[in-house]
Amino acid sequence: MAKNGRIKAIQTALESGKTSCTELTRQYLDAIRKNESLNAYISITDETAIETAGIVDAKLARGEKLSALEGVPFSLKDNISTTGLETSCASEMLNGYKPSYDAFVWDIFKSANAPLLGKANMDEFAMGSTCETSRTGGAKNPYNTEYVPGGSSGGSASAVAANIAAYSIGSDTGGSVRQPASFCGLVGLKPTYGAVSRRGLIAYASSLDQIGVLAQSTADCAEVFRKIAVHDALDMTSTPFPAYEGGNAIKIGVAEEFFTGASADVYSALQNTIRVMEQITGNTVEIVKFPLLKYALPVYYIIACAEASSNLGRYDGIRYGRPAEAYEDIDDAISRVRSAGFGTEVQRRILLGAYVLSSGFFDAYYVKARELKQIMTYKLVNETLAGVDFLITPTAPATALKFGAKMSPVEMYLTDICTVTVNLTGLPAVSVPCGFDRNGMPIGAQIIGKRYSDFRLFELASKFEQATDSEFLTPLNGVNGMGVSL
């Protein structure tokens, strides 16, 4: 049986009086504490959640219908600004920092009366692929707590897979929504660049950052996306989302470049996915080419680090960050603040970024990377995707690693090979669960679409979900019944 999604299940239960919103929200908060060892949350926002639930209950008592997302408890990644509520980016630098303004998306959820359960764990400043660079230690994968949930939105994925949040809002700069979604058996969307306002999202690499959704089904993911795909005049990269006109017959392309390096289990799950896609669309897949994929990682890491080194310049203990207590001069003060406040991976990226932007190397690295980014976008859109609607690739070449597996930085960067091109080119992509590896860990398939084809992506993903009888999706009450059951 295909699922209508958790959001619908919750709203039906609320409207029929099966449970009150306050009762349900308390159940979620209790389940978070019962599963504290998952370390999915950095902070729990009981008061905000219960207060919102009270508003919803009052509305229900008046016999009013619930609007989209109303009463459905969720979590926000810890890099999304929430007035008066700690937003630490999982960094010592922002430990205890409470923003004085709200992110555009948080405003939307607040007006929708969606109870905020807490701020989800993540890699420090969203830099990483395992969630292990968090100042509080990484979140765990509910499928097997010896494994990582992926990153950087690892806490969001862990929480949704355990159903200690009905859905979660993450951010995706190079795969941080899609990769953890794939590691935790969830649906994860990286929207078209500009579709969701980045106002109030603490910046990592602004030209690549995009807010995305992690959910237990495509229905949930689509509903949340519909709510947040709103033009924001105060984010200059925000664009109005064009009306969806529906699609014709679907043609799918497969570019072999994305499959080199895939593990045997990922490879065979993807072969199966392609077969199912052929049945759904009634078309055989077309083999297409994207030879520029070999440049994706260097281009991504040069641009991401360059933008990060500029964006993170504000953490100097004067504008942001706790000031140094003892210092010799201003340089010494800033250096002390940054050495104490930033973890190793963040420091590495700031240094790499400063290097590629420095006068002697600017043309050789940064300018070249920007040019390649443009060429990659042109070629992907006008050549690879010219005769097809979507590309199917693995979301990641391998499944979740064990916690503490000591990957070198370069080994870690290599795992982003399938996801970063989507950010470099501004296209939308969704990761859908498509199987399990020999250890029972989830595998994700990535569907890449053309600009603004986000809703069409959901249509295809939903057909895939139905055709596979939802057998790869995380169960509604969470993996191993960890979370709230309705």
Q: Which residues of the shown chain bind ligand GLN in the complex (CB under 6 A)?
A: 126-129, 152, 172-176, 204, 304, 416
* Nearer to ligand GLN (CB atom), residue 15 or residue 345: 345
Q: Is there a contact between 65 and 15 (Cβ–Cβ < 8 Å)?
A: yes
Least gap, CB of 172 to ligand GLN (angstroms): 5
Assigned token pair, 233:
């005049």
Assigned token pair, 366:
């940064």
Burial code (b: 16+ CB inside 10 Å, e: under 16) for 441-466 equals bbbbbbbbbbbbbbbbbbbbbbbbbe
Annotated catalytic residues are 77, 152, 176
> Which has the closest alpha carbon to 123: 133, 113, 114, 115?
133
Residue with tokens 């989800």: 120
Q: Which helix (H) or strand (E) holds 172?
A: strand 167-172
Q: Are strands 442-448 and 74-77 parallel, antiparallel or unpaired?
A: unpaired
DSSP state letter for 141: -
Q: Is there a contact between 71 and 115 (Cβ–Cβ < 8 Å)?
A: yes
Assigned token pair, 238:
């925000």
* Nearer to ligand GLN (CB atom), residue 5 or residue 170: 170
Decide: residue 290, CB within 10 A, 0-12 exposed, 13-18 middle, 19+ buried: buried
Q: Is there a contact between 435 and 472 (Cβ–Cβ < 8 Å)?
A: yes
Task: Please identify the residue of the shown chain whose CB is closest to the bound ligand GLN.
Answer: 176
Rg (CA), the chain: 21
What are the residues facing 430 on neighbouring strands?
Answer: 189, 447
What are the residues facing 170 on neighbouring strands?
Answer: 212
Least gap, CB of 127 to ligand GLN (angstroms): 5
Least gap, CB of 175 to ligand GLN (angstroms): 5
* Nearer to ligand GLN (CB atom), residue 24 or residue 196: 196
Number of alpha carbons in the 13 Å side-chain half-sphere of residue 161: 35
* Nearer to ligand GLN (CB atom), residue 280 or residue 414: 414
* Nearer to ligand GLN (CB atom), residue 409 or residue 475: 409
* Nearer to ligand GLN (CB atom), residue 35 or residue 152: 152
Residue with tokens 């109303």: 70
Beta strands in 216-278 (DSSP E): 252-255
* Nearer to ligand GLN (CB atom), residue 93 or residue 112: 93
* Nearer to ligand GLN (CB atom), residue 153 or residue 470: 153
What are the residues facing 212 on neighbouring strands?
Answer: 170
From CA 430, how far away is CA 449, in angstroms rounded? 9
Strands of the 167-172 sheet, one edge to the other: 41-44, 116-120, 74-77, 167-172, 210-215, 187-190, 429-436, 442-448, 390-394, 252-255, 286-288
> Which has the closest alpha carbon to 176: 204, 198, 195, 200?
204
